[in-house]
Structure 1
Amino acid sequence: ISRSYALRMRGSGVYSDVGTDQLTQVYGGYSAELIPGFDRVKQAVDNTRGEVILYNGQIVEAYYHASAGGHTENSENIWSAALPYLRAVPSPYDQYAIRYPYQSGGWPANTYDWAKKITRSQLASIIMDWNSRRLKDGRVNEIIDIGSLEGIEISRLDANGKETASQRVTELKFIGTTGKKSFYRDNIRSILGLKSTLFDIEFDSKITVLDGNASKVSFNSLKDLKAIDGSGALDYVNPDSDDCFVIGKESTRNIARSFDSLTIKGRGHGHGIGLSQWGAQGMAAEKGANYKEIIRHYYTGVDIKRVY
């Protein structure tokens, strides 16, 4: 996989070419090769010498990531190009990471299942820092200028109006008092520093609406919302005086008018395209799959061929 990626990207540009620095690879030096078990890595390289992954006779863009969180995604729902060999597939063995002993920071279990809590003040600081860096870089079109934050909307729809196969988020929209600002596909990870786009957002106090387009809208304010009152009439909610409730099957809950924090609960680590490293390791360890079976699972319709 790494060989295919390197050969495909070779000479394709300053940001795509594979170099010797940490931008594209991390090599621990000869001492790293002395670590117990590393001989298997060298053996794998030697045994597959000259082999690459092909689609219609061309070396593929063999993207990979740490963990798909249970399911990979179609390439166009993460970046832009729809590549026929980068299709969404189940990745059930990603859970293999949970079985490993915890290391620094909860790794590797937190590559599969993770959560991030952000307070209201932290979110304001994140937006301010984002705007400052974008202004400094001259990328004013990416500035979030929406007034006071009132809600966040997430959508999982692809370009055809259907939900993404893995349930990854394709749009994150900040809703404020003076406007809205959206981020799309893999850019969503940048603004909030997330491990993946496979997540849900929970407010400590919230109103969540699931509309007909499979979009979840979470509000921390009752402004501009309509409700059906006791007489059956539809009217705007007065956020300063009206008390609103959600009537469920077993209980009735008051809707609070503000939130102090939000929690983002997600799965996976990385963009979610192509091979999942933990999923591949689990396939080998638990299913007994060989490298060709793993490659053909994660890269749709490909061939494996020795070219030198």
Structure 2
Amino acid sequence: MRNIIIYIVFILFITILLPLFLVKGCSVDKETPIKDSPQKVAQNKELVKIYNTKTKNTDEMELEEYLKGVLAAEMPAAFHIEALKAQAIAARTYALNRIQRYGQGHPEHITAPLCTGVHCQAYLTLAELKDKHGESWIIEYWPRIVSAVEDTKHMVLTYDGELIEAAYHSTSGGMTEDSENVFATARPYLRSVQSPYEEGAPKLKDSISMPFNDFVKKLNEKYPNTKITKKNITQMIKVADKSDTGRIMKLMIGDKIVEGREFRALFNLNSTNFKVNLIGDTIQIETLGNGHGVGMSQWGANGMAKNGSSHEEILKHYYQGVEIRKYN
């Protein structure tokens, strides 16, 4: 009988009490790996595959080393260190989100989820940076790039526990754009916000000029028989739809509806926030901002940093409702 009682107590300990002790000993906090943690994607010391758009080869490199080349290519290294840190976290999040979505390869480069071109994120090797900027740049600025990446190691942006699509651009022109007005998909964290500290951005305001006949010729090559003349240009080119931030979503050119992004690409404009003016025999197109306008403005981030904002404050301003977390 005594042996039976001892056996029953042993079974109860194994099946009930021991699991309770084990569960009590495990805590979950903001540093717990996020759902579908990217460390599962980037195994082998976080080696990631990168398609090199110049050599057409697919290379493997450590994620954090890749991010140093991205940061140096995407943002001026002379920017405030807090802006550089914000960019490092955004770039890491963008890369890991891309790896999660296209782990077997992106349709545009099927051997890797990421590439070295602006299609993903621009990337330059240390040798390429030296050729581009010179040895003095490497000495003065490369340590700042390394510091920004290493000081934010493993930090990513999440929304509801998921990696966000951390879109960013050069200069917003004062207001960023809602994601659905550019990428067709509404993201709750990619909402239009003010970006007031962009003074000094080289392409905050810009313009291009061309002879009227060249302008019409280019339009007719893309959209035949537009029948635009100097007399009717204001009637033949009209804004059909504009976002609340002033970016042109659709134009009416003659009897054709043209996407603002398509017009921007046709004339290689800095942004879709533009105005077309006829001055004598010349067409002048004025632009405000540089880039698609969604997510973080890099020049705005630098302005916020110079005005005392931390990288956390910058990121939570441009990406609404996000958390900054470690992914492992």
CA 1:31–1:39 in 2, change beyond 3 Å: closer, same or farther? farther
Greater RCO, 1 or 2 (C-alpha within 8 Å, sep 6+): 1
Which residue of structure 2 lines up, in the alignment, with residue 202 of structure 1?
277
Which residue of structure 2 lines up, in the alignment, with residue 304 of structure 1?
324
Q: State yes or no: 1:120 paired with 2:216.
A: no
CA 1:199–1:270 in 2, change beyond 3 Å: closer, same or farther? same
- The number of equivalent residue pairs is 218
Unaligned runs of 5+ in 2: 1-89, 131-137
Letter in 2 for 1:300: Q
SS state at 1:53 partner: strand
Letter in 2 for 1:118: M
Which residue of structure 1 lines up, in the alignment, with residue 177 of structure 2?
73
Letter in 1 for 2:286: K
Distance 2:200 2:226 in 1: 44
Q: State yes or no: 1:26 paired with 2:123.
A: yes
Distance 1:27 1:6 in 2: 15
SS state at 2:192 partner: coil
SS state at 1:96 partner: coil
Which residue of structure 1 lines up, in the alignment, with residue 87 of structure 2?
none
Which residue of structure 2 lines up, in the alignment, with residue 14 of structure 1?
107
Q: Which has a greater percent of helix?
A: 2
- Equivalences for residues 6-155 of structure 1 within 5 A: 6-10=95-99, 11-12=101-102, 13-15=106-108, 17-20=113-116, 23-24=119-120, 25-30=122-127, 32=129, 34-97=138-201, 109=202, 111-129=203-221, 131=222, 144-149=223-228, 150=232, 151-155=236-240
Letter in 2 for 1:26: Y
Letter in 1 for 2:206: W
CA 1:58–1:185 in 2, change beyond 3 Å: closer, same or farther? farther
Which residue of structure 1 lines up, in the alignment, with residue 245 of structure 2?
166
1:5-53: per-residue Cα shift (whole Å, max 9, x none)? Answer: 0111125222383124565323042463724122111111111111110
Larger Rg: 2
Q: Which has a greater percent of strand?
A: 1
Contact 2:241 2:249 in 1 (8 A): yes
Contact 1:96 1:282 in 2 (8 A): no
Q: How far 1:201 moved relative to its partner?
A: 2.0
Q: How far 1:305 moved relative to its partner?
A: 0.2
Which one is further off, 7-16 or 292-301? 7-16
Q: Structure 1 runs of 4+ off > 4 angstroms?
A: none
Which residue of structure 2 lines up, in the alignment, with residue 256 of structure 1?
none
1:157-178: per-residue Cα shift (whole Å, max 9, x none)? Answer: 4xxxxxx231111112211xxx
Q: How far 1:82 moved relative to its partner?
A: 0.9
Contact 2:171 2:291 in 1 (8 A): yes
SS state at 1:172 partner: strand
Which residue of structure 2 lines up, in the alignment, with residue 212 of structure 1?
none
Which residue of structure 1 lines up, in the alignment, with residue 302 of structure 2?
281
Q: How far 1:93 moved relative to its partner?
A: 1.1
Q: How far 1:148 moved relative to its partner?
A: 1.5
Q: How far 1:117 moved relative to its partner?
A: 1.7
Within the candidate set 186, 202, 213, 2:261 is matched to 186
1:59-89: per-residue Cα shift (whole Å, max 9, x none)? Answer: 0110111111111111111221111111111
TM-score (norm 1): 0.66
TM-score (norm 2): 0.62
Two-structure CA RMSD over aligned residues (Å) = 2.0
SS state at 1:71 partner: coil
SS state at 1:190 partner: helix
Q: Structure 1 vs Structure 2: percent identity of aligned residues?
A: 31
